């Protein structure tokens, strides 16, 4: 049975969004507090001075350098790593569930394949970066199921196309994680530790140390996560993560930063694609690393040079041995698959800042390599057969880009950018973006943005040559066009914050699989899709210290078609697994327990109806998944240098299915202890 909380109940419950705790005095009506910068300020990061409770005010992902959020025309959410740690959130996917316009779909238990759909786009339309290093596989795919948050300083989520700076894959948005910086200058090194245990045989541990001086800062951490899973057999998840960051400032004009992260994970799963338990020992693995070296130098009073050198590699696959000596029939009773994807690149740019202008120009170089190998043994009653394949390809892209930001008339802020990519496989491609921020005296700001983006095909779509698929070297990139309008304002000394965004995106040249006959490609640029929606938020910081917030997202994502046979009830078909609406509410209250700073928080997450495919029948049938509501509770009790944490996920034990055949996670209880959080 699916449990749902009525909309009115959610509204009464309220909930925290992002509200300021301290800050400079401000007019009773102004910009949202997390933006904190007058809309008439010049185009400089130094213009921002106000403090915030939950969200850092400077955003690096949109423009490539730290910029006050009040100067950005796009919708941006920034999650604070320290806040997530205090609340006991371990996985990136759990943090993203609280971001408007972002749908998170987990298949199975903790560590299971997890997809993110941003503003109705496909799950491979979101570019994921760690300290500037792309984590996506070539072609955009990324599994969020195993990415944990050890040693993460903050997470920036940009909604809307962002190919001007980031090239391929940034069709619907960008998610960038930043490794934790060093300790306070001149202070002793700080050792931190965390241990948590709870339901499903789960435990998490992390140990780290960070330090710094006037000319350097550093941090290192090691983390481990385990869970026995929701299934009684073969459902163990393990992950091990090590990360570090070193920053050097040899003089006042120069900065160097080196960041490194290595990880390995194993996820055992007993189910097939329909959710039936069929195997006792199969598992997936995900191992890899990312490393970036970034340097900046003030070349002249108004001119800065920046260089980012990046590298990343991921080894992902599946291992499935026979369950017993008698397990020698059926499809894939023995199956081994390994994919190794590597990306290397560099980005060099110059930034010129004037009194009213900021101009950025740069070159970006990216090389992608992928090697796939598989061996599958099957027996359909007439003897064992072996299907084996080895595949390896690479491609490089050279791009030039430029951005201009300036103060316009009446306090407006204008921005525009263009990027030209040259790929050795599919040739040249051009993307662009423009934005406007317009202050309304005493009533916040209006903003608008338009942009285009693209996503390169996967290597398999271009070059595969197996019995089931044949690549098409003539494929064009998939493309998107987007327009967004928004309004944000703060009232009552920025204690009450309101905002709304409306967006519309169109997707063209989408690649589909179609078997047209022997010897012919199986992939073609044929499909189109569209999505439109509305995002709204309200937050209120009471004088008593109670924090309330509410976020609502409505999305209409559909495949575009003129074929009457493809219409559903006379309408274009909805895209799979995109909820028609989402509602998030949060409340945080101080508690009169222990030391000052003891708080409790409640987060409600309502997910609307989704369309999905039921693979328990052949051919698969389209079904509608019911809406559901979950609640998470966390309590934080500081005791000197320790922080006691209690977290209950799915407090109401809601019974729901994020994917047909796969149950959602039930009620789970976790208790933890942090030292120097």
Q: Express each pLDDT in 185-196 by its tens digit.
A: 667 899 999 999
Nearest of 227, 324, 314 to residue 267 by alpha carbon: 227
The pLDDT of residue 27:
29
**Whole-number Å distance between alpha carbons of 120 and 532:** 8
Residue 625 lies in a domain: yes
Cα separation, 482 vs 532, whole angstroms: 9
Which residues does 302 contact at the CB level (< 8 Å), separation at least 6? Answer: 352, 353, 354
pLDDT at 75: 93
Whether 6 is in a domain gets the answer no
Q: What whole-number distance in Å separates Cα of residue 458 and Cα of residue 620?
A: 25
Q: How far apart are the first and last CA of the chain?
A: 39
Instruction: Tell the residue number behind the tokens 């240098």, with chain if given.
Output: 641
Residue 203 lies in a domain: no
Q: Is the pLDDT of residue 505 over 60?
A: yes
pLDDT for residue 628 is more than 50: yes
Q: Is residue 345 part of a domain?
A: yes
> Residue 30 is encoded by which pair of tokens?
């102004």
pLDDT at position 654 over 80: yes
For residue range 113-140, list pLDDT tens digits in order. 999 999 999 999 999 999 999 999 999 9
Instruction: Judge whether residue 52 has pLDDT over 50.
Output: no
Inter-residue contact 597 to 591 (CB < 8 Å): no
- Report the chain's mean pLDDT, rounded to a whole number: 88
Give a yes or no: residue 461 inside a domain.
Answer: yes
What is the residue-wise DSSP string for 262-310? EEEEEEE--B-TTS-B--SS-EEEEEEEEEEEEEEEEEETTEEEEEEEE
**Dihedral sign computed on CA atoms, order 296, 297, 300, 301:** positive
DSSP category for residue 14: -
Structure tokens at 132: 């500037």
**Counted domains in the chain:** 1
pLDDT of the residue at 250? 94
Query: Smallest Cα–Cα separation from 284: which of 114, 493, 508?
Result: 114
Please name the residues in contact with 29: beta carbons below 8 A apart, sequence gap of 6 or more: 442, 443, 444, 489, 490, 491
- 18 pLDDT above the threshold of 70: no
Tokens linked to 601: 């928080």
DSSP E strands in 514-620: the ranges are: 523-541, 547-560, 581-590, 599-607, 610-614
How, if at all, do strands 133-134 and 126-130 pair?
Answer: antiparallel
User: Band of the pLDDT at 253, cuts 50, 70, 90?
Assistant: very high
How large a percentage of the chain has pLDDT more than 90?
A: 74
Which residues span the domain enclosing 403? Answer: 27-46+53-197+234-324+335-675
Q: Residue 355: CA atoms inside 13 Å, Cβ hemisphere, count? A: 0
Closest Cα to residue 486, out of 72, 173, 27?
72
Which of 331, 324, 435, 424 is CA-nearest to residue 384?
331
**For 42-51, what is the mean pLDDT?**
32
CA–CA distances in Å: residue 530 to residues 268, 311, 367, 574, 616? 36, 34, 31, 10, 29
Which CATH number fits the domain that encloses residue 643?
Answer: 2.40.170.20
pLDDT of residue 233: 96
Q: Which of 108, 109, 111, 95 is nearest to 145 (CA)?
A: 111
* pLDDT, position 69: 81
Least confident range from 25-39, 338-352, 619-633: namely 25-39
Q: Is residue 213 part of a domain?
A: no
Among 48-52, 149-153, 443-447, the minimum mean pLDDT is found in 48-52
Compute the 3-state secondary structure of the chain and give helix, strand, coil in percent, each to the nearest 5.
Answer: 5, 55, 35
Q: Cα–Cα distance between 620 and 609 in angstroms, integer?
A: 19
Q: Which pLDDT score, from 0 to 100, does residue 185 have? A: 62
Amino acid 51: pLDDT: 28
Q: What is the pLDDT of residues 450-479, one digit of tens each?
A: 999 999 999 999 998 887 889 999 999 999
Whether the per-residue pLDDT at 37 is higher than 50: the answer is no
pLDDT above 70 coverage of the chain, percent: 91
Determine the pLDDT at residue 601. 96
221 assigned to some structural domain: no
Contact 105, 577 (CB under 8 A): yes
573: confidence class by pLDDT, cuts 50, 70, 90: very high
Spacing of C-alpha 621 from chain mean position? 30
Q: What CA–CA distance (Å, rounded) separates 120 from 116?
A: 10
Please give the radius of gyration of the chain, using alpha carbons only, rounded to the nearest integer. 25
pLDDT at 39 over 50: no
Q: Residue 87: what are its φ and ψ, rounded to 5°?
A: -85, 0
With respect to residue 9, please indicate whether it lies within any of the assigned structural domains.
no
Which is more confidently placed, 488 or 67? 488
Strand segments (E) across 81-201: 102-106, 114-118, 126-130, 133-134, 152-159, 173-179, 190-198
């Amino acid at each position: 049975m699916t449990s749902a909380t009525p909309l009115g109940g959610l509204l009464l419950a309220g909930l925290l969004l992002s509200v300021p705790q301290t800050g400079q005095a401000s007019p009773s009506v102004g910009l949202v507090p997390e933006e904190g910068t007058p809309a008439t300020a010049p185009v400089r990061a130094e213009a921002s001075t106000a403090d915030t409770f939950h969200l850092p005010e400077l955003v690096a992902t949109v423009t490539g350098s730290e910029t006050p959020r009040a100067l950005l025309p796009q919708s941006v959410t920034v999650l604070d790593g320290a806040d997530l740690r205090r609340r006991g959130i371990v996985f990136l996917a759990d943090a993203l569930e609280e971001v408007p316009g972002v749908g998170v779909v987990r298949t199975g238990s903790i560590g299971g394949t997890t997809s993110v759909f941003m503003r109705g786009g496909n799950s491979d339309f979101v570019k994921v970066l760690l300290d500037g290093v792309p984590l996506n596989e070539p072609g955009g795919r990324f599994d969020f199921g195993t990415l944990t948050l050890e040693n993460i300083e903050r997470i920036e989520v940009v909604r809307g196309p962002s190919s001007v700076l980031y090239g391929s894959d940034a069709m619907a948005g960008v998610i960038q994680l930043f490794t934790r910086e060093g300790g306070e200058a001149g202070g002793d090194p700080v050792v931190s530790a965390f241990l948590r245990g709870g339901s499903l045989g789960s435990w998490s541990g992390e140990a780290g140390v960070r330090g710094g001086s006037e000319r350097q800062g550093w941090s290192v951490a090691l983390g481990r996560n385990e869970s026995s899973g929701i299934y009684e057999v073969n459902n163990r998840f393990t992950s091990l993560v090590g990360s570090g960051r070193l920053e050097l400032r040899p003089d006042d004009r120069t900065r160097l930063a080196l960041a490194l992260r290595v990880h390995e994970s194993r996820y055992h799963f007993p189910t097939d694609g329909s959710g039936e338990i069929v195997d006792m020992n199969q598992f997936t693995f995900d191992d890899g690393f990312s490393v970036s070296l970034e340097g900046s130098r003030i070349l002249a009073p108004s001119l800065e040079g920046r260089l980012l050198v990046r590298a990343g590699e991921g080894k992902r696959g599946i291992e499935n041995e026979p369950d017993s000596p008698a397990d020698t029939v059926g499809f894939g009773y023995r199956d081994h698959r390994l994919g190794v994807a590597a990306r290397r690149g560099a980005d060099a740019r110059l930034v010129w800042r004037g009194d009213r202008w900021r101009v950025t120009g740069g070159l970006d170089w990216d090389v992608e390599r992928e090697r796939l190998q598989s061996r599958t043994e099957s027996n359909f009653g007439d003897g064992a057969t072996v299907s084996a394949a080895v595949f390896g390809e690479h491609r490089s892209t050279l791009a030039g880009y430029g951005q201009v930001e300036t103060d316009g008339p009446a306090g407006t802020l204008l921005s525009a950018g263009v990027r030209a990519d040259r790929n050795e496989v599919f040739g040249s491609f051009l993307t662009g973006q423009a934005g406007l921020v317009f202050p309304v005296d005493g009533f916040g700001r209006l903003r608008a943005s338009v942009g285009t983006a693209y996503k390169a095909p996967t290597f398999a779509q271009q070059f595969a040559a197996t019995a089931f698929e044949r690549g098409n070297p003539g494929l064009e990139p998939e493309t998107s066009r987007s327009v967004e309008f928004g309004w944000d304002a703060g009232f009552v000394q920025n204690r009450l914050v309101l905002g709304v965004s409306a967006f519309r995106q169109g997707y063209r040249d989408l690649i589909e699989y179609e078997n047209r006959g022997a010897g012919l490609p199986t992939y073609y640029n044929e499909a189109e899709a569209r999505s439109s929606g509305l995002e709204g938020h309200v937050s209120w910081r009471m004088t008593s210290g109670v924090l309330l917030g509410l976020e609502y997202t409505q999305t209409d994502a559909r495949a575009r078609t003129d074929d009457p046979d493809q219409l559903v009830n006379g309408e274009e078909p909805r895209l799979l697994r995109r909820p028609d609406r989402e509602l998030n509410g949060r409340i945080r209250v101080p508690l009169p327990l222990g030391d000052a700073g003891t708080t409790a928080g409640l987060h409600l997450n309502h997910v609307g109806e989704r369309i999905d495919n039921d693979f328990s029948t052949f051919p698969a049938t389209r079904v509608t998944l019911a809406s559901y509501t979950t609640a998470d509770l966390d309590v934080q009790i500081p005791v000197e240098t320790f922080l006691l944490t209690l977290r209950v996920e799915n407090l109401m034990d809601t019974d729901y299915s994020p994917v047909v055949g796969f149950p959602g996670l039930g009620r789970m209880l976790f208790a933890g202890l942090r030292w120097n959080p």
